[in-house]
A and B are shown apart, each in its own frame.
Chain A
């Protein structure tokens, strides 16, 4: 392709403009405000003063909150592993389906998005109630897997659809078993899709609070619940912001480490 943005600055600017404006308005500005809040002090009921204090971060690093973060990480890891284990075969089945069927199957994958998340979570309360799983961590993981599945199936499908089938055939022709072909050929070739899916599932799950609130029971608490309370009943926005940003730093760190590891391998 000969076209590039240097040749058509005006066209590119007008195409990218709305997206960039939306990003600035909905992400950069609020995040900057939250970052400032996390270094601020609560003065009275609705007043906050920016003082550059680290008090909120110091409090966020107390063992009490690190323990809550640890529980959130466990729940998110369990969710990610279960989601990938279910999504991979589904994505493979769709990629191997006749082209005409694929559209319908992909539509079915995104169908849950047509209903509101809250409604779907309440529906799970009704489904889980007779099983005895309701108000346990298992219920939280189940609902998070359910919510996350489309985010894993779609990138995995994109990867599997592009996979050169001749490589699989060659592997089988050369005497490798189906399992070996999967493990030594298919899995390494689709690793980028798996990594993308893992990040897309793990990151939003780590910050979730709705599922643990509604399905979690007395003992389940994710860091999202603590953050939510800081913005509501505790009315401590600086502390809530510091906790949120701690999650941002941690997630950015994990993603950076993952891409570093990948770069090293190449």
Chain B
């Protein structure tokens, strides 16, 4: 043990380490001068060469970090921005961040590619007049399933919430507001359920369905579906579409009651070190060829009309990417519920897991 803990340190090794320690900050300093931005995005949510292409086009280097969910993003920025220039929050988190004064108002003159967006995405209920955010991608939360185990494609959320024969074969999202909201949607309430009695009804439904849930977990149900651990899962459309490319036995459906509609946005958090380059990055993403190349990889629906023109018919006609109009019309976007309701959602999840 002793020889393990006190290895002989040669003078050369010691001074070498010291030099490295001294020169490291100097190198970082160099990078700063060359213009750099830090982008904080979701995993598996960018094109294969998007970041390199941006550096080639502008000379600005990109440091790229990943977060797992909106909660992590919000928690990271809550006590001040640790140095990010561009972040990708979803609609309800955008609303939360605007209310908490955490976002920089965008300078529209630096984002001429705004004109490429579909008119429906040039404004948003959660960011009136698009002052703070630009749409990145949108999508739904619906049902991913294994075709050989679920012979008829699911058409209703009953496949998730009222399916006793599928004991331990279902995975649901563990984000409290999403899980409770979708359960409420199945009961005929709004996804933005606020009434404590309706929330309690959703809880009752969830507790009754619990024996069929293998996991109530993060945003990785698609992996469980792919590994064959579950046959049905509540997931984001694009996550399922990505694993469908690996396994043709998988499918995605948006239930007839409607699903959860979401939109991820590009935004600049207050305290960003390089606001100018952050605007360049957002404008670059909205360039038709760039946005289209990302869509071809991640297979989420585009908010960008000019980029859509560059997409293959196979992508545009895929009903799993662009869901049927009637189910889409019934789908709802989550809004920020306020802290008191947020607490009710969280307690519901704690009770569900403890049940």
Whether A219 lies near B342 (C-beta < 8 A) is: no
A219-B353, A221-B350, A221-B353 known; A235-B214 Cβ under 8 A? no
Whether B4 lies near A107 (C-beta < 8 A) is: yes
Which stretch from B22-30, B54-62, B71-79, B245-253 is at the chain A interface?
B71-79
In the complex, which residue of chain B has the Cβ closest to the Cβ of A157? B1
Whether B214 lies near A135 (C-beta < 8 A) is: yes
Interface pairs A-B: 5 shortest CB-CB: A232-B71, A234-B346, A221-B353, A233-B71, A45-B100
Interface residues on A, range: 20 to 34
A-B contact count (CB 8 A): 85
Asked if A195 is at the interface (CB within 8 A of a chain B CB), the reply is: no
In the complex, which residue of chain B has the Cβ closest to the Cβ of A47? B100
Distance between Cα atoms of A46 and B4 in the complex (Å): 47
Asked if A184 is at the interface (CB within 8 A of a chain B CB), the reply is: no
In the complex, which residue of chain A has the Cβ closest to the Cβ of B170? A218
A218-B210, A221-B353, A235-B74 known; A129-B4 Cβ under 8 A? no
Instruction: Mark out the residues of chain B between 193 and 214 whose CB falls within 8 Å of any chain A CB in the assembled complex.
Output: 210, 213-214
Distance between Cα atoms of A102 and B1 in the complex (Å): 8
Task: Please give, as numbers and ranges, the residues of chain A lying within 8 Å of B343 by CB-CB distance.
Answer: 234, 236
In the complex, which residue of chain B has the Cβ closest to the Cβ of A236? B343
Distance between Cα atoms of A226 and B354 in the complex (Å): 11
Number of interface residues of B (CB under 8 A): 37
26 A-B contacts, Cβ less than 8 Å apart? Answer: A45-B339, A64-B347, A64-B350, A65-B350, A68-B350, A68-B354, A71-B354, A134-B229, A135-B229, A213-B217, A213-B218, A217-B215, A218-B215, A229-B176, A229-B349, A230-B346, A232-B72, A233-B71, A233-B176, A233-B342, A233-B346, A234-B342, A234-B343, A236-B339, A236-B343, A236-B346
Task: Please give, as numbers and ranges, the residues of chain B lying within 8 Å of A220 by CB-CB distance.
Answer: 353
Whether B210 lies near A233 (C-beta < 8 A) is: no
In the complex, which residue of chain A has the Cβ closest to the Cβ of B211? A218
Q: A64-B350, A64-B354 are in contact. List 19 more A-B contacts (CB 8 A).
A: A45-B339, A129-B227, A213-B217, A213-B218, A217-B215, A218-B210, A218-B216, A225-B353, A229-B71, A229-B346, A231-B75, A232-B71, A233-B71, A233-B176, A233-B177, A234-B343, A235-B78, A235-B342, A236-B346
Distance between Cα atoms of A107 and B225 in the complex (Å): 39
Whether A135 lies near B215 (C-beta < 8 A) is: yes
Task: Please give, as numbers and ranges, the residues of chain B lying within 8 Å of A219 by CB-CB distance.
Answer: 210, 353
Distance between Cα atoms of A143 and B158 in the complex (Å): 35
Distance between Cα atoms of A106 and B3 in the complex (Å): 11
Task: Please give, as numbers and ranges, the residues of chain B lying within 8 Å of A102 by CB-CB distance.
Answer: 1
Whether A45 lies near B229 (C-beta < 8 A) is: no
The listed residue (A45, A65, A232, A236) touching B96 by CB distance below 8 A is A45
Task: Please give, as numbers and ranges, the residues of chain A lying within 8 Å of B34 by CB-CB distance.
Answer: none
Asked if B289 is at the interface (CB within 8 A of a chain A CB), the reply is: no
Distance between Cα atoms of A230 and B78 in the complex (Å): 13
Whether A234 lies near B176 (C-beta < 8 A) is: yes
In the complex, which residue of chain B has the Cβ closest to the Cβ of A214? B217
Asked if A175 is at the interface (CB within 8 A of a chain B CB), the reply is: no
Distance between Cα atoms of A42 and B345 in the complex (Å): 17
Q: Looking at A46, A64, A65, A225, which has the most chain B CB atoms within 10 Å of its CB?
A: A46
In the complex, which residue of chain B has the Cβ closest to the Cβ of A230? B346
Task: Please give, as numbers and ranges, the residues of chain A lying within 8 Å of B72 by CB-CB distance.
Answer: 232
In the complex, which residue of chain A has the Cβ closest to the Cβ of B230? A135
Asked if A103 is at the interface (CB within 8 A of a chain B CB), the reply is: yes
Q: Looking at A103, A218, A225, A236, which has the most chain B CB atoms within 10 Å of its CB?
A: A218
Give A192-234 as 1s and 0s: 1 = Cβ < 8 Å from B's Cβ atoms. Answer: 0000000000000000000001000111110001100111111
